[in-house]
Structure 1
Amino acid sequence: MSVPYAEVIGDPIAQSKSPAIHNFWLGKLGIAGRYDHCLVRLEGLGDYLATRRADADWRGCNVTMPHKLAIVPLLDRLDSLAARIGAVNTVVREADGTLTGHNTDAPGFLEPLRPELAKTHLFRMARVLGTGGAARAIVAALAAEHFVIVLAGRDPDKARAMLDELAPGTDHHAIDLTHFSDPTDFAFDDREGCLDLIVNASPLGMAGQPPLAFDFSHAPPGSLVYDIVTSPLDTAFLRGARTAGFTTIDGLSMLIGQADAAFAHFFGTRPPREHDAALRALILS
Protein backbone atom coordinates (compact mmCIF):
# COMPACT_ATOMS: atom_id res chain seq x y z
CA MET A 1 0.00 0.00 0.00
CA SER A 2 1.38 3.39 -0.93
CA VAL A 3 1.83 6.03 1.74
CA PRO A 4 2.36 9.78 1.43
CA TYR A 5 5.94 10.88 1.85
CA ALA A 6 8.11 13.95 1.84
CA GLU A 7 11.87 14.38 2.05
CA VAL A 8 14.73 16.81 2.35
CA ILE A 9 17.14 17.34 -0.54
CA GLY A 10 20.59 18.84 -0.67
CA ASP A 11 24.27 18.11 -1.20
CA PRO A 12 25.48 16.90 1.27
CA ILE A 13 22.37 15.57 2.99
CA ALA A 14 23.19 12.52 5.16
CA GLN A 15 23.75 14.78 8.18
CA SER A 16 20.24 16.27 8.04
CA LYS A 17 18.13 16.03 11.19
CA SER A 18 14.89 16.78 9.33
CA PRO A 19 13.89 13.10 8.90
CA ALA A 20 14.15 12.55 12.67
CA ILE A 21 11.92 15.58 13.31
CA HIS A 22 9.18 14.78 10.79
CA ASN A 23 9.10 11.05 11.49
CA PHE A 24 8.85 11.76 15.23
CA TRP A 25 5.80 13.94 14.60
CA LEU A 26 4.24 11.39 12.21
CA GLY A 27 4.61 8.73 14.89
CA LYS A 28 3.12 10.89 17.63
CA LEU A 29 0.10 11.71 15.44
CA GLY A 30 -0.34 8.16 14.13
CA ILE A 31 -0.14 9.33 10.52
CA ALA A 32 0.69 6.70 7.91
CA GLY A 33 3.47 8.56 6.13
CA ARG A 34 7.21 8.89 6.01
CA TYR A 35 9.92 11.50 5.58
CA ASP A 36 13.25 10.66 3.93
CA HIS A 37 16.43 12.38 2.81
CA CYS A 38 17.66 12.37 -0.78
CA LEU A 39 21.04 13.41 -2.14
CA VAL A 40 20.47 15.67 -5.15
CA ARG A 41 23.36 17.20 -7.06
CA LEU A 42 22.92 20.67 -8.48
CA GLU A 43 23.06 19.38 -12.05
CA GLY A 44 20.36 16.80 -11.26
CA LEU A 45 17.87 19.15 -9.64
CA GLY A 46 15.62 19.48 -12.70
CA ASP A 47 15.47 15.72 -13.28
CA TYR A 48 14.68 15.13 -9.61
CA LEU A 49 11.70 17.51 -9.71
CA ALA A 50 10.41 16.05 -12.98
CA THR A 51 10.43 12.54 -11.48
CA ARG A 52 8.81 13.55 -8.19
CA ARG A 53 6.17 15.71 -9.88
CA ALA A 54 4.77 12.54 -11.48
CA ASP A 55 4.54 10.70 -8.14
CA ALA A 56 1.13 11.26 -6.50
CA ASP A 57 2.43 9.94 -3.15
CA TRP A 58 5.14 12.62 -2.98
CA ARG A 59 3.89 15.56 -0.94
CA GLY A 60 6.98 17.72 -1.45
CA CYS A 61 10.41 18.37 -0.08
CA ASN A 62 12.46 20.61 2.10
CA VAL A 63 15.42 22.20 0.37
CA THR A 64 18.83 22.83 1.86
CA MET A 65 22.14 23.99 0.48
CA PRO A 66 23.08 24.46 -2.28
CA HIS A 67 19.59 24.48 -3.85
CA LYS A 68 17.56 27.22 -2.13
CA LEU A 69 18.18 29.72 -4.95
CA ALA A 70 18.70 27.32 -7.85
CA ILE A 71 15.32 25.64 -7.38
CA VAL A 72 13.29 28.86 -7.76
CA PRO A 73 13.09 29.00 -11.60
CA LEU A 74 12.19 25.30 -11.74
CA LEU A 75 8.92 25.74 -9.84
CA ASP A 76 5.48 26.66 -11.13
CA ARG A 77 4.77 29.34 -8.54
CA LEU A 78 6.02 30.90 -5.32
CA ASP A 79 4.03 32.06 -2.32
CA SER A 80 4.34 35.73 -1.46
CA LEU A 81 7.04 35.32 1.21
CA ALA A 82 9.24 33.08 -0.94
CA ALA A 83 8.84 35.50 -3.84
CA ARG A 84 9.91 38.43 -1.66
CA ILE A 85 12.92 36.56 -0.25
CA GLY A 86 13.89 34.97 -3.56
CA ALA A 87 14.77 31.66 -1.91
CA VAL A 88 12.79 28.46 -1.30
CA ASN A 89 13.26 25.86 1.42
CA THR A 90 9.92 24.03 1.05
CA VAL A 91 8.35 22.69 -2.16
CA VAL A 92 4.77 21.42 -2.14
CA ARG A 93 3.24 19.21 -4.81
CA GLU A 94 -0.30 20.40 -5.43
CA ALA A 95 -3.13 17.99 -6.33
CA ASP A 96 -2.75 18.83 -10.02
CA GLY A 97 0.98 18.07 -10.00
CA THR A 98 2.14 21.68 -10.01
CA LEU A 99 4.93 22.70 -7.63
CA THR A 100 4.70 25.66 -5.24
CA GLY A 101 7.71 27.10 -3.45
CA HIS A 102 7.48 28.36 0.13
CA ASN A 103 9.96 29.82 2.58
CA THR A 104 9.54 28.58 6.15
CA ASP A 105 13.10 29.57 7.10
CA ALA A 106 12.04 33.12 7.96
CA PRO A 107 9.33 32.24 10.52
CA GLY A 108 11.42 29.31 11.73
CA PHE A 109 14.36 31.60 12.43
CA LEU A 110 12.19 34.04 14.38
CA GLU A 111 10.38 31.41 16.45
CA PRO A 112 12.92 31.13 19.34
CA LEU A 113 13.26 34.93 19.37
CA ARG A 114 9.54 35.62 19.80
CA PRO A 115 9.61 36.16 23.61
CA GLU A 116 12.34 38.78 23.18
CA LEU A 117 10.70 40.37 20.15
CA ALA A 118 7.49 40.86 22.14
CA LYS A 119 9.34 43.42 24.27
CA THR A 120 9.93 47.09 23.47
CA HIS A 121 13.56 48.06 22.82
CA LEU A 122 15.51 51.29 22.48
CA PHE A 123 16.89 49.83 19.28
CA ARG A 124 17.53 46.47 17.66
CA MET A 125 20.71 45.58 15.80
CA ALA A 126 21.74 42.31 14.17
CA ARG A 127 25.14 41.31 12.87
CA VAL A 128 24.44 38.62 10.26
CA LEU A 129 27.29 36.52 8.89
CA GLY A 130 26.67 35.01 5.45
CA THR A 131 24.94 35.89 2.18
CA GLY A 132 23.44 32.58 0.98
CA GLY A 133 19.85 31.38 0.70
CA ALA A 134 19.27 31.04 4.44
CA ALA A 135 20.77 34.49 5.03
CA ARG A 136 18.25 35.98 2.59
CA ALA A 137 15.38 34.66 4.70
CA ILE A 138 17.01 35.87 7.91
CA VAL A 139 17.69 39.36 6.58
CA ALA A 140 14.09 39.70 5.38
CA ALA A 141 12.74 38.44 8.71
CA LEU A 142 14.92 40.79 10.77
CA ALA A 143 14.09 43.78 8.58
CA ALA A 144 10.38 43.12 9.19
CA GLU A 145 11.12 43.17 12.94
CA HIS A 146 12.76 46.61 12.67
CA PHE A 147 16.40 45.60 13.12
CA VAL A 148 19.33 47.63 11.89
CA ILE A 149 21.36 45.00 10.04
CA VAL A 150 25.09 44.66 9.57
CA LEU A 151 25.51 42.01 6.86
CA ALA A 152 28.94 40.44 6.50
CA GLY A 153 30.05 38.34 3.54
CA ARG A 154 33.10 37.35 1.58
CA ASP A 155 31.85 39.77 -1.08
CA PRO A 156 30.64 43.04 0.51
CA ASP A 157 29.11 44.14 -2.80
CA LYS A 158 26.88 41.05 -2.76
CA ALA A 159 25.94 41.84 0.83
CA ARG A 160 25.09 45.43 -0.12
CA ALA A 161 22.91 44.28 -3.01
CA MET A 162 21.08 41.86 -0.71
CA LEU A 163 20.37 44.60 1.81
CA ASP A 164 19.16 46.97 -0.89
CA GLU A 165 16.78 44.29 -2.14
CA LEU A 166 15.48 42.82 1.11
CA ALA A 167 15.93 45.58 3.70
CA PRO A 168 15.78 48.91 1.88
CA GLY A 169 16.84 51.88 3.94
CA THR A 170 19.93 53.85 4.79
CA ASP A 171 20.65 52.43 8.25
CA HIS A 172 21.98 49.02 7.23
CA HIS A 173 25.63 48.23 6.57
CA ALA A 174 27.49 45.71 4.39
CA ILE A 175 31.03 44.69 5.36
CA ASP A 176 33.66 42.07 4.67
CA LEU A 177 33.34 38.93 6.78
CA THR A 178 36.98 39.23 7.87
CA HIS A 179 36.08 42.42 9.75
CA PHE A 180 34.92 40.27 12.67
CA SER A 181 37.97 38.03 12.89
CA ASP A 182 40.29 40.52 14.65
CA PRO A 183 39.70 42.06 18.11
CA THR A 184 38.12 45.48 18.52
CA ASP A 185 38.07 47.96 21.37
CA PHE A 186 34.86 49.65 20.15
CA ALA A 187 32.77 51.11 23.02
CA PHE A 188 29.33 49.55 22.56
CA ASP A 189 26.08 50.97 23.94
CA ASP A 190 25.49 49.01 27.14
CA ARG A 191 22.14 50.50 28.14
CA GLU A 192 19.37 48.14 29.15
CA GLY A 193 16.68 47.82 26.51
CA CYS A 194 18.99 47.25 23.54
CA LEU A 195 18.53 44.01 21.59
CA ASP A 196 21.68 42.81 19.82
CA LEU A 197 21.93 39.62 17.78
CA ILE A 198 24.97 37.89 16.36
CA VAL A 199 23.84 35.36 13.74
CA ASN A 200 25.91 32.84 11.83
CA ALA A 201 23.77 32.36 8.71
CA SER A 202 26.61 30.72 6.77
CA PRO A 203 27.81 27.09 6.54
CA LEU A 204 31.10 28.07 8.20
CA GLY A 205 31.66 25.86 11.22
CA MET A 206 29.61 23.01 9.72
CA ALA A 207 31.22 19.59 9.57
CA GLY A 208 33.46 19.55 6.49
CA GLN A 209 33.50 23.36 6.19
CA PRO A 210 36.14 25.87 7.34
CA PRO A 211 35.69 27.31 10.84
CA LEU A 212 33.96 30.64 11.43
CA ALA A 213 36.50 33.23 12.57
CA PHE A 214 34.69 35.60 14.95
CA ASP A 215 36.22 37.54 17.83
CA PHE A 216 33.60 38.12 20.53
CA SER A 217 34.93 41.58 21.28
CA HIS A 218 32.60 42.48 18.36
CA ALA A 219 29.54 41.38 20.37
CA PRO A 220 27.86 44.14 22.39
CA PRO A 221 27.04 43.44 26.05
CA GLY A 222 23.98 41.22 26.43
CA SER A 223 24.01 39.96 22.85
CA LEU A 224 22.13 36.83 21.83
CA VAL A 225 24.34 34.58 19.72
CA TYR A 226 22.52 32.37 17.19
CA ASP A 227 24.08 29.73 14.92
CA ILE A 228 21.86 28.09 12.27
CA VAL A 229 24.37 25.25 11.68
CA THR A 230 22.97 21.89 12.80
CA SER A 231 25.93 19.56 12.22
CA PRO A 232 27.53 19.77 14.70
CA LEU A 233 24.76 21.23 16.81
CA ASP A 234 27.09 22.69 19.43
CA THR A 235 29.48 24.59 17.18
CA ALA A 236 32.78 26.18 18.12
CA PHE A 237 31.06 29.53 17.54
CA LEU A 238 28.42 28.78 20.18
CA ARG A 239 30.99 27.39 22.62
CA GLY A 240 33.04 30.53 22.20
CA ALA A 241 29.97 32.67 22.83
CA ARG A 242 29.15 30.86 26.05
CA THR A 243 32.74 31.14 27.22
CA ALA A 244 32.49 34.90 26.63
CA GLY A 245 29.30 35.02 28.73
CA PHE A 246 26.64 35.28 26.03
CA THR A 247 23.27 33.52 25.73
CA THR A 248 23.12 31.19 22.73
CA ILE A 249 20.51 29.70 20.39
CA ASP A 250 21.42 26.62 18.35
CA GLY A 251 20.41 25.62 14.85
CA LEU A 252 17.98 22.96 16.04
CA SER A 253 15.68 25.72 17.30
CA MET A 254 15.35 27.17 13.80
CA LEU A 255 15.19 23.73 12.19
CA ILE A 256 12.25 22.65 14.35
CA GLY A 257 10.53 26.01 13.81
CA GLN A 258 10.76 25.87 10.02
CA ALA A 259 9.80 22.17 10.02
CA ASP A 260 6.56 23.04 11.84
CA ALA A 261 5.20 24.99 8.87
CA ALA A 262 6.58 22.51 6.33
CA PHE A 263 4.95 19.57 8.11
CA ALA A 264 1.55 21.26 7.83
CA HIS A 265 2.08 21.73 4.08
CA PHE A 266 3.08 18.08 3.58
CA PHE A 267 0.70 16.22 5.90
CA GLY A 268 -2.23 18.60 6.39
CA THR A 269 -2.00 19.17 10.13
CA ARG A 270 0.18 21.01 12.63
CA PRO A 271 2.80 18.95 14.44
CA PRO A 272 2.48 18.11 18.16
CA ARG A 273 4.79 20.77 19.57
CA GLU A 274 3.98 19.80 23.16
CA HIS A 275 6.59 17.07 22.65
CA ASP A 276 9.46 19.43 21.75
CA ALA A 277 11.53 18.45 24.80
CA ALA A 278 11.29 14.76 23.89
CA LEU A 279 12.09 15.53 20.26
CA ARG A 280 15.21 17.48 21.19
CA ALA A 281 16.30 14.70 23.55
CA LEU A 282 15.84 12.15 20.75
CA ILE A 283 17.95 14.14 18.31
CA LEU A 284 20.67 14.78 20.86
CA SER A 285 20.84 11.14 21.99
Structure 2
Amino acid sequence: MSRITGAVRVGGVVGQPVNHSLSPVIHNAWLEAGGIDGAYVAFAPKDADGFAALVAAGRAGLIAGVNVTAPFKEQAFASADKVSKAAKLVSSANILAFHDGQVLADSSDGAGVLYALAEQAPALSLNSAHVVMLGAGGASRAAAGVLLQGGARLSILNRTRQRAADLAADLGAGVSVAEDEGVLETADLVINALSVPPQIDLSRLKIQAVVMDMTYRPLVTPFLQAARDRGLTIVDGLAMLIGQAGAGFEAIYGQKPPVMDMRSVLMAHLGEAQ
Protein backbone atom coordinates (compact mmCIF):
# COMPACT_ATOMS: atom_id res chain seq x y z
CA MET A 1 0.00 0.00 0.00
CA SER A 2 1.13 3.55 -0.67
CA ARG A 3 1.45 5.82 2.34
CA ILE A 4 0.81 9.53 2.49
CA THR A 5 2.72 11.58 5.08
CA GLY A 6 3.96 15.11 5.43
CA ALA A 7 6.85 14.16 3.14
CA VAL A 8 4.57 13.20 0.23
CA ARG A 9 5.84 13.90 -3.30
CA VAL A 10 3.03 15.15 -5.53
CA GLY A 11 3.13 14.53 -9.27
CA GLY A 12 0.56 14.53 -12.01
CA VAL A 13 -0.38 14.73 -15.64
CA VAL A 14 -1.30 18.04 -17.25
CA GLY A 15 -3.34 18.48 -20.41
CA GLN A 16 -6.58 19.84 -21.83
CA PRO A 17 -8.62 17.72 -21.89
CA VAL A 18 -7.00 15.23 -19.52
CA ASN A 19 -9.86 13.18 -18.05
CA HIS A 20 -9.20 10.35 -20.55
CA SER A 21 -5.56 9.98 -19.49
CA LEU A 22 -4.34 6.61 -18.25
CA SER A 23 -1.37 8.20 -16.47
CA PRO A 24 -3.06 8.41 -13.04
CA VAL A 25 -3.98 4.72 -13.29
CA ILE A 26 -0.39 3.79 -14.13
CA HIS A 27 1.46 5.97 -11.63
CA ASN A 28 -0.84 5.38 -8.69
CA ALA A 29 -0.63 1.62 -9.25
CA TRP A 30 3.17 1.89 -9.11
CA LEU A 31 3.01 4.09 -6.00
CA GLU A 32 0.77 1.59 -4.24
CA ALA A 33 2.81 -1.43 -5.31
CA GLY A 34 6.01 0.19 -4.08
CA GLY A 35 4.57 1.59 -0.86
CA ILE A 36 5.89 4.96 -1.98
CA ASP A 37 5.02 8.19 -0.18
CA GLY A 38 3.56 9.89 -3.21
CA ALA A 39 0.39 10.95 -4.99
CA TYR A 40 -0.36 11.44 -8.69
CA VAL A 41 -3.27 13.54 -9.93
CA ALA A 42 -4.63 15.15 -13.10
CA PHE A 43 -4.29 18.87 -13.82
CA ALA A 44 -6.41 20.55 -16.51
CA PRO A 45 -5.40 24.21 -16.82
CA LYS A 46 -7.80 26.06 -19.09
CA ASP A 47 -5.12 27.91 -21.04
CA ALA A 48 -1.44 28.83 -21.36
CA ASP A 49 -1.65 31.12 -18.32
CA GLY A 50 -2.99 28.24 -16.28
CA PHE A 51 -0.13 26.03 -17.38
CA ALA A 52 2.37 28.77 -16.50
CA ALA A 53 0.83 28.94 -13.01
CA LEU A 54 1.36 25.19 -12.62
CA VAL A 55 5.01 25.54 -13.62
CA ALA A 56 5.36 28.37 -11.09
CA ALA A 57 3.95 26.03 -8.43
CA GLY A 58 6.62 23.52 -9.39
CA ARG A 59 9.35 26.12 -9.11
CA ALA A 60 7.99 27.02 -5.68
CA GLY A 61 8.36 23.43 -4.52
CA LEU A 62 4.65 22.54 -4.40
CA ILE A 63 4.85 19.84 -7.09
CA ALA A 64 7.64 17.34 -7.74
CA GLY A 65 6.96 16.97 -11.45
CA VAL A 66 4.39 16.41 -14.17
CA ASN A 67 3.84 14.47 -17.33
CA VAL A 68 2.67 16.80 -20.08
CA THR A 69 0.26 16.08 -22.90
CA ALA A 70 -1.51 18.17 -25.55
CA PRO A 71 -1.72 21.09 -25.95
CA PHE A 72 1.09 22.04 -23.56
CA LYS A 73 4.15 20.10 -24.76
CA GLU A 74 5.71 23.02 -26.62
CA GLN A 75 5.03 25.43 -23.74
CA ALA A 76 6.57 22.92 -21.36
CA PHE A 77 9.72 22.84 -23.48
CA ALA A 78 9.90 26.63 -23.59
CA SER A 79 9.47 26.94 -19.81
CA ALA A 80 12.45 24.75 -18.92
CA ASP A 81 15.81 25.81 -17.56
CA LYS A 82 17.47 22.57 -18.63
CA VAL A 83 16.43 20.44 -21.60
CA SER A 84 17.43 16.86 -22.42
CA LYS A 85 18.76 15.81 -25.82
CA ALA A 86 15.55 13.89 -26.47
CA ALA A 87 13.41 16.97 -25.81
CA LYS A 88 15.67 19.17 -27.96
CA LEU A 89 15.20 16.77 -30.86
CA VAL A 90 11.43 17.25 -30.87
CA SER A 91 11.33 20.83 -29.47
CA SER A 92 8.70 19.71 -26.98
CA ALA A 93 8.59 17.99 -23.60
CA ASN A 94 6.26 15.44 -22.03
CA ILE A 95 8.07 15.43 -18.67
CA LEU A 96 8.83 18.37 -16.38
CA ALA A 97 10.69 17.74 -13.13
CA PHE A 98 11.14 20.48 -10.53
CA HIS A 99 14.30 20.67 -8.41
CA ASP A 100 15.35 23.61 -6.22
CA GLY A 101 13.42 26.14 -8.29
CA GLN A 102 14.71 24.73 -11.58
CA VAL A 103 12.58 23.19 -14.35
CA LEU A 104 14.05 20.16 -16.12
CA ALA A 105 12.42 19.05 -19.39
CA ASP A 106 12.60 15.67 -21.06
CA SER A 107 10.79 13.66 -23.72
CA SER A 108 10.11 9.96 -23.18
CA ASP A 109 8.35 9.29 -26.49
CA GLY A 110 11.44 7.65 -27.95
CA ALA A 111 12.02 5.59 -24.82
CA GLY A 112 8.44 4.38 -25.08
CA VAL A 113 9.04 3.12 -28.62
CA LEU A 114 12.12 1.16 -27.56
CA TYR A 115 10.31 -0.33 -24.56
CA ALA A 116 7.38 -1.44 -26.71
CA LEU A 117 9.60 -3.04 -29.35
CA ALA A 118 11.67 -4.86 -26.73
CA GLU A 119 8.51 -6.20 -25.07
CA GLN A 120 6.45 -7.23 -28.08
CA ALA A 121 8.99 -7.72 -30.87
CA PRO A 122 12.12 -8.94 -29.04
CA ALA A 123 13.49 -10.70 -32.13
CA LEU A 124 13.77 -7.41 -34.02
CA SER A 125 17.24 -5.87 -34.12
CA LEU A 126 17.30 -2.18 -34.94
CA ASN A 127 20.91 -2.30 -36.06
CA SER A 128 20.78 -1.99 -39.88
CA ALA A 129 16.99 -2.44 -39.84
CA HIS A 130 14.93 -0.59 -42.44
CA VAL A 131 12.13 1.32 -40.69
CA VAL A 132 9.24 2.92 -42.58
CA MET A 133 7.58 5.72 -40.64
CA LEU A 134 4.01 6.64 -41.58
CA GLY A 135 3.61 10.34 -40.87
CA ALA A 136 5.96 13.28 -40.42
CA GLY A 137 4.65 14.99 -37.30
CA GLY A 138 5.97 15.26 -33.78
CA ALA A 139 5.36 11.60 -32.95
CA SER A 140 7.41 10.57 -35.97
CA ARG A 141 10.25 12.88 -34.99
CA ALA A 142 10.39 11.53 -31.44
CA ALA A 143 10.54 7.92 -32.58
CA ALA A 144 13.01 8.63 -35.35
CA GLY A 145 15.72 9.86 -33.01
CA VAL A 146 16.00 6.69 -30.97
CA LEU A 147 15.63 4.45 -34.01
CA LEU A 148 18.55 6.18 -35.70
CA GLN A 149 20.62 5.93 -32.51
CA GLY A 150 19.88 2.21 -32.54
CA GLY A 151 21.45 1.87 -35.98
CA ALA A 152 18.31 1.77 -38.12
CA ARG A 153 17.85 3.52 -41.43
CA LEU A 154 14.59 5.37 -41.83
CA SER A 155 12.19 6.06 -44.68
CA ILE A 156 9.38 8.55 -44.15
CA LEU A 157 6.14 7.89 -46.01
CA ASN A 158 3.79 10.85 -45.74
CA ARG A 159 0.92 12.16 -47.84
CA THR A 160 2.47 15.64 -47.88
CA ARG A 161 5.89 15.02 -49.34
CA GLN A 162 7.30 18.39 -48.31
CA ARG A 163 6.66 17.68 -44.61
CA ALA A 164 8.49 14.41 -44.98
CA ALA A 165 11.36 16.17 -46.74
CA ASP A 166 11.56 18.80 -43.98
CA LEU A 167 11.71 16.12 -41.28
CA ALA A 168 14.31 14.13 -43.19
CA ALA A 169 16.46 17.25 -43.58
CA ASP A 170 16.24 17.95 -39.84
CA LEU A 171 17.15 14.40 -38.88
CA GLY A 172 20.08 14.15 -41.28
CA ALA A 173 22.00 11.03 -42.26
CA GLY A 174 20.17 7.73 -42.39
CA VAL A 175 16.80 9.25 -43.29
CA SER A 176 15.13 9.39 -46.69
CA VAL A 177 11.75 10.32 -48.12
CA ALA A 178 9.78 7.38 -49.53
CA GLU A 179 8.54 7.82 -53.09
CA ASP A 180 5.56 5.51 -52.68
CA GLU A 181 4.35 2.32 -51.01
CA GLY A 182 6.99 0.33 -52.82
CA VAL A 183 9.26 1.17 -49.88
CA LEU A 184 7.26 -1.28 -47.77
CA GLU A 185 8.71 -4.27 -49.61
CA THR A 186 12.07 -3.95 -47.83
CA ALA A 187 10.73 -2.77 -44.46
CA ASP A 188 11.71 -4.61 -41.28
CA LEU A 189 9.52 -2.35 -39.16
CA VAL A 190 6.54 -0.13 -40.05
CA ILE A 191 5.36 2.41 -37.48
CA ASN A 192 2.08 4.27 -37.75
CA ALA A 193 2.59 7.73 -36.23
CA LEU A 194 -0.57 9.16 -37.80
CA SER A 195 -3.66 10.08 -35.80
CA VAL A 196 -5.86 8.34 -38.38
CA PRO A 197 -5.81 4.74 -39.68
CA PRO A 198 -3.29 4.51 -42.52
CA GLN A 199 -4.46 3.33 -45.90
CA ILE A 200 -1.57 1.18 -47.09
CA ASP A 201 -1.24 -2.24 -48.65
CA LEU A 202 0.21 -4.53 -45.98
CA SER A 203 0.49 -7.37 -48.47
CA ARG A 204 3.67 -5.68 -49.69
CA LEU A 205 5.39 -6.48 -46.38
CA LYS A 206 7.61 -9.52 -45.91
CA ILE A 207 6.33 -12.02 -43.39
CA GLN A 208 9.16 -11.22 -40.95
CA ALA A 209 8.17 -7.54 -40.76
CA VAL A 210 6.97 -5.95 -37.53
CA VAL A 211 4.05 -3.50 -37.52
CA MET A 212 3.58 -0.94 -34.74
CA ASP A 213 0.78 1.52 -34.07
CA MET A 214 1.29 4.39 -31.61
CA THR A 215 -2.46 4.53 -30.94
CA TYR A 216 -3.92 2.40 -28.13
CA ARG A 217 -7.62 3.14 -28.47
CA PRO A 218 -8.72 0.64 -29.56
CA LEU A 219 -5.86 -1.54 -28.34
CA VAL A 220 -5.80 -3.53 -31.57
CA THR A 221 -6.44 -0.89 -34.21
CA PRO A 222 -7.74 -1.81 -37.67
CA PHE A 223 -4.17 -1.32 -38.89
CA LEU A 224 -2.79 -3.80 -36.36
CA GLN A 225 -5.63 -6.23 -36.96
CA ALA A 226 -4.85 -6.25 -40.68
CA ALA A 227 -1.20 -6.97 -39.86
CA ARG A 228 -2.17 -9.73 -37.41
CA ASP A 229 -4.41 -11.29 -40.08
CA ARG A 230 -1.34 -11.51 -42.30
CA GLY A 231 0.57 -13.27 -39.53
CA LEU A 232 2.88 -10.33 -38.84
CA THR A 233 4.28 -9.43 -35.43
CA ILE A 234 2.39 -6.45 -34.01
CA VAL A 235 3.32 -3.87 -31.37
CA ASP A 236 0.56 -1.78 -29.80
CA GLY A 237 0.45 1.71 -28.37
CA LEU A 238 -0.29 0.52 -24.84
CA ALA A 239 3.20 -0.94 -24.56
CA MET A 240 4.62 2.39 -25.73
CA LEU A 241 2.52 4.25 -23.15
CA ILE A 242 3.88 2.09 -20.32
CA GLY A 243 7.44 2.66 -21.53
CA GLN A 244 6.90 6.42 -21.65
CA ALA A 245 5.39 6.39 -18.17
CA GLY A 246 8.38 4.65 -16.61
CA ALA A 247 10.70 7.50 -17.48
CA GLY A 248 8.22 10.02 -16.12
CA PHE A 249 7.81 8.14 -12.85
CA GLU A 250 11.57 8.09 -12.30
CA ALA A 251 11.85 11.81 -13.04
CA ILE A 252 9.04 12.72 -10.64
CA TYR A 253 9.63 10.29 -7.78
CA GLY A 254 13.38 9.74 -8.03
CA GLN A 255 13.22 5.97 -8.38
CA LYS A 256 12.38 3.35 -10.96
CA PRO A 257 8.84 1.96 -10.97
CA PRO A 258 8.36 -1.26 -9.00
CA VAL A 259 8.22 -4.40 -11.10
CA MET A 260 4.61 -5.39 -11.76
CA ASP A 261 2.30 -6.44 -14.58
CA MET A 262 1.17 -2.97 -15.55
CA ARG A 263 -0.28 -4.19 -18.82
CA SER A 264 -2.82 -6.35 -17.01
CA VAL A 265 -3.77 -3.41 -14.78
CA LEU A 266 -4.46 -1.24 -17.81
CA MET A 267 -6.26 -3.96 -19.73
CA ALA A 268 -8.62 -4.44 -16.79
CA HIS A 269 -9.15 -0.67 -16.56
CA LEU A 270 -9.91 -0.44 -20.27
CA GLY A 271 -12.11 -3.53 -20.24
CA GLU A 272 -9.96 -5.14 -22.92
CA ALA A 273 -9.55 -8.89 -23.29
CA GLN A 274 -6.02 -10.19 -22.92
TM-score of Structure 1 vs Structure 2, range by shorter chain: 0.7 to 0.9
- Decide whether the 8 Å contact of 1:68 with 1:133 is kept in 2: no
- The CA deviation at 1:77 is 1.7
For residues 135 and 86 of structure 1, the distance between their equivalents in structure 2, rounded to whole angstroms, comes to 13
Which residue does the alignment assign to 1:279? 265
SS in 1 for 2:74: coil
- C-alpha spacing 1:20/1:50, structure 2 compared with 1 (3 Å): closer
Matched length: 265
Which residue does the alignment assign to 2:103? 99
The aligned amino acid for 1:213 is Q
Which residue does the alignment assign to 2:177? 174
In percent, how many aligned pairs have the same letter?
29
- Decide whether the 8 Å contact of 2:219 with 2:237 is kept in 1: yes
- The CA deviation at 1:258 is 1.4
Is 1:188 aligned to residue 185 of structure 2? Answer: yes
Is 1:13 aligned to residue 51 of structure 2? Answer: no
For residues 14 and 155 of structure 2, the distance between their equivalents in structure 1, rounded to whole angstroms, comes to 30
SS in 2 for 1:160: helix
Aligned residue among 128, 140, 144 for 1:139: 144
SS in 2 for 1:71: helix
Is 1:249 aligned to residue 260 of structure 2? Answer: no
SS in 2 for 1:237: helix
- The CA deviation at 1:149 is 1.0
Which residue does the alignment assign to 2:113? 109
Give the unaligned 5+ runs of structure 1: 190-194, 205-210
Higher mean Cα deviation, 15-24 or 82-91? Answer: 82-91
- Decide whether the 8 Å contact of 1:129 with 1:152 is kept in 2: yes
Which residue does the alignment assign to 1:157? 162
- C-alpha spacing 1:75/1:277, structure 2 compared with 1 (3 Å): closer
- The CA deviation at 1:271 is 0.7
- The CA deviation at 1:247 is 1.4
Normalising by the residue count of structure 1, what TM-score does the alignment of the two structures yield?
0.80
Normalising by the residue count of structure 2, what TM-score does the alignment of the two structures yield?
0.83
SS in 1 for 2:129: strand
Is 1:87 aligned to residue 92 of structure 2? Answer: yes
Give the unaligned 5+ runs of structure 2: none
SS in 2 for 1:58: coil
Is 1:203 aligned to residue 195 of structure 2? Answer: yes
Query: Pairwise CA RMSD of aligned residues?
Result: 2.9
The aligned amino acid for 1:16 is S
Is 1:25 aligned to residue 30 of structure 2? Answer: yes
Query: Structure 1, residues 223-245: CA drift from partner, whole Å, max 9, x if none?
Result: 11111112232222211221222
- The CA deviation at 1:272 is 1.4
- C-alpha spacing 1:7/1:122, structure 2 compared with 1 (3 Å): closer
SS in 2 for 1:146: coil
- C-alpha spacing 1:59/1:122, structure 2 compared with 1 (3 Å): closer
